């Protein structure tokens, strides 16, 4: 028998984790933020891809079974999702089940933390199961701001990217709409029932219109949703303390992983706003502009003409992309804010300035810590009544955030709490959140809201 070397393992990872043409395949999207995942599936469907969102958290036991406990929690949850899906699909299709028909989507990010390793680890686990070595894993990387090159045919990429970005912004807005109306709803449960129906409508709209040239039917539908949502607010309910949520993107947006912390906060009297997904997408593009600018400067100093040309082109390309993203985001928020006062999103350049101003942390360190620390500071300065940092237990950037943001918030007299999640129930969690909300309410009584 031929000996399998480490090099063979790396070759297999390189061959079966990457950019594959998804046409004709069933494209499986793991649920992170429940709204934008479903809207993204709609975008793929509009471009002719048979995409669907996998059921989430049902396979947590499977995820735990094939991990050692040292992995990041999102890696465990998403592994459980794909294994559970495959198990169910085998049961459903019997002999007709063909792993070759599926492409599992697991993007990644480069940097000092482990997000870039999830899909490699998932590859190793899938390869250890009969037949599942043939399930391909599609990966996009933050290194090129999640370019779709290789996944979608070139001629469709531009339109896809525009619709994909719009679906992220619309997903953020639906989230913000829910958090704006639920604490003030006329009857308990109205907000949730409304938003479920609204997301289904918007996913349908993306599936119909995303590949068309004009995206205005989608925006028209969004405005209808916003107007209807506003009607759920009972104007007699007085304003509540406003809580800002920061932290690791997966766990803070994956409601089941964070045990619906926002709902618990609302139960104790909060209105909450979580950091957006658009923030991360804009950050990855901003980071490419920032790195190209540094490389350009170095090449200029050394008079290296080849490098100068290369980085000038990169700088222009990512600057234009970032400009487009900001413009699109501002336009959609502006349209929506004519009807309801949801929170706007901040620019990444502004967050970098916030960190520089007080010399607290640096974008050079990278990871989400630079976004979470600066957002916490920004929200505190804007008059939020408390900050919650939600993250996976052992998450490196989030522990960095906790160690820096906590003393900063204490100095500013802003209530602050860390919520680390690993799938277990912590008996003291609810009491801690209740105490936090008591402090936030005192802050609100003294200072008012933003």
Tokens of 154: 């070139």
Return the number of the residue (42 or 397) whose C-beta is nearest ligand SF4.
397
List residues binding ligand SF4 (CB under 6 A): 72, 74, 113-115, 248, 368, 392, 395-398
Look-up of token digits 């009544």: 385
| Residue among 287 and 368 whose Cβ is closer to ligand SF4 | 368
Select 114 or 180, whichever has its Cβ closest to ligand SF4. 114
Query: SS3 for 304?
Result: coil
Pick between residue 137 and residue 396 the one whose CB is nearest to ligand SF4: 396
Cα gap 189→236, rounded to integer Å = 18
Q: How far is the CB of 114 from ligand SF4 (least distance, A)?
A: 4
* Rounded Cα distance, 82 and 97, in Å: 15
DSSP-H helix ranges across 182-258: 190-209, 216-230, 249-253
Shortest gap between Cβ of 110 and ligand SF4 (angstroms)? 11
User: How many beta carbons lie within 10 A of that of residue 96, not counting itself?
Assistant: 9
Closer residue to ligand SF4 in complex, CB, 72/132: 72
Cβ proximity to ligand SF4: between 171 and 392 the closer is: 392
Q: What DSSP state is assigned to residue 135? A: S
Nearer CB in complex with ligand SF4: 104/115: 115
- Smallest distance from the beta carbon of 115 to ligand SF4, in angstroms? 4
Nearer to ligand SF4, 142 or 314 (CB): 142
Q: Can you say whether the dihedral through the CA atoms of 339, 341, 343, 344 is positive or negative? A: positive
CB of residue 52 to ligand SF4, shortest distance in Å = 24
In the complex, what is the shortest distance from the CB of residue 372 to ligand SF4, in angstroms, rounded to a whole number?
A: 10
How far apart are CB 410 and ligand SF4 at their closest, in Å?
24
Cβ 421 to ligand SF4, closest distance in Å? Answer: 10
> Which CA distances in Å does 229 have to 166, 206, 275, 330, 339?
20, 19, 21, 21, 10
CA distances 121 to 67, 116, 343, 446, Å, are: 9, 10, 37, 50
Q: Quickly count: other Cβ atoms within 10 Å of residue 84's Cβ.
A: 20
DSSP assignments along 355-417, one per residue: HHHHT---GGG-TTHHHHHHHHHHHHHTT-SEEEEEEETT-HHHHHHHHHHHHHHHHTT--EE
CB of 49 to ligand SF4, least distance (A): 27
């Amino acid at each position: 028998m031929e000996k399998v070397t480490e090099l063979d393992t790396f070759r297999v990872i390189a061959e079966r984790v990457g950019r594959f043409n998804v046409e004709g395949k069933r494209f499986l999207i793991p649920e992170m933020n429940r709204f934008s995942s479903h809207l993204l599936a709609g975008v793929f469907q509009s471009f002719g891809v048979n995409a669907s969102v996998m059921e989430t958290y049902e396979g947590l036991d499977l995820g735990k079974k094939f991990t050692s406990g040292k992995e990041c929690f999102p890696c465990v949850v998403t592994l459980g999702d794909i294994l559970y899906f495959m198990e169910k699909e085998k049961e459903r299709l019997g002999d007709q089940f063909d792993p070759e028909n599926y492409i599992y989507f697991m993007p990644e990010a480069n940097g000092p933390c482990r997000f870039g390793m999830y899909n490699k680890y998932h590859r190793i686990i899938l390869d250890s199961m009969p037949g599942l070595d043939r399930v391909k894993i599609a990966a996009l990387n933050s290194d090129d701001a999640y370019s779709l090159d290789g996944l979608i045919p070139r001629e469709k990429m531009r339109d896809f990217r525009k619709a994909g970005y719009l679906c992220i912004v619309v997903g953020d807005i639906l989230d913000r709409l829910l958090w704006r109306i639920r604490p003030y709803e006329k009857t308990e449960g109205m907000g949730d029932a409304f938003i479920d129906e609204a997301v289904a409508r918007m996913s349908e709209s993306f599936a119909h219109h995303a590949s068309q040239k004009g995206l205005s039917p989608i925006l028209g539908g969004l405005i209808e949703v916003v107007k209807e949502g506003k009607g759920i607010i009972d104007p007699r309910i007085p304003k509540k303390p406003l809580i800002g949520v920061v932290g690791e993107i997966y766990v803070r947006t994956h409601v089941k992983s964070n045990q619906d912390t926002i709902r618990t906060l609302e139960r104790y009297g909060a209105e909450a706003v979580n950091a957006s997904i658009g923030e991360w997408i804009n950050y990855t593009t901003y980071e490419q502009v920032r790195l190209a600018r540094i490389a350009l400067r170095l090449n200029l100093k050394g008079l290296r003409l080849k490098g100068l040309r290369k980085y000038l082109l990169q700088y222009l390309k990512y600057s234009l992309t970032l400009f487009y993203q900001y413009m699109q985001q501002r336009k959609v928020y502006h349209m929506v804010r004519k009807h309801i006062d949801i929170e706007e999103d901040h620019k990444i350049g502004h967050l970098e300035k916030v960190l520089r101003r007080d010399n607290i942390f640096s974008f050079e360190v990278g990871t989400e810590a630079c976004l979470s620390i600066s957002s916490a500071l920004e929200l505190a300065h804007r008059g939020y009544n408390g900050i919650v940092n939600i993250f996976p237990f052992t998450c490196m950037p989030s522990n960095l955030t906790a160690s820096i943001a906590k003393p900063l918030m204490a100095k500013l007299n802003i209530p602050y709490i860390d919520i680390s999640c690993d799938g277990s129930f912590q008996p003291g969690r609810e009491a801690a959140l209740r105490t936090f909300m008591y402090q936030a309410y005192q802050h609100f009584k003294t200072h008012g809201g933003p």
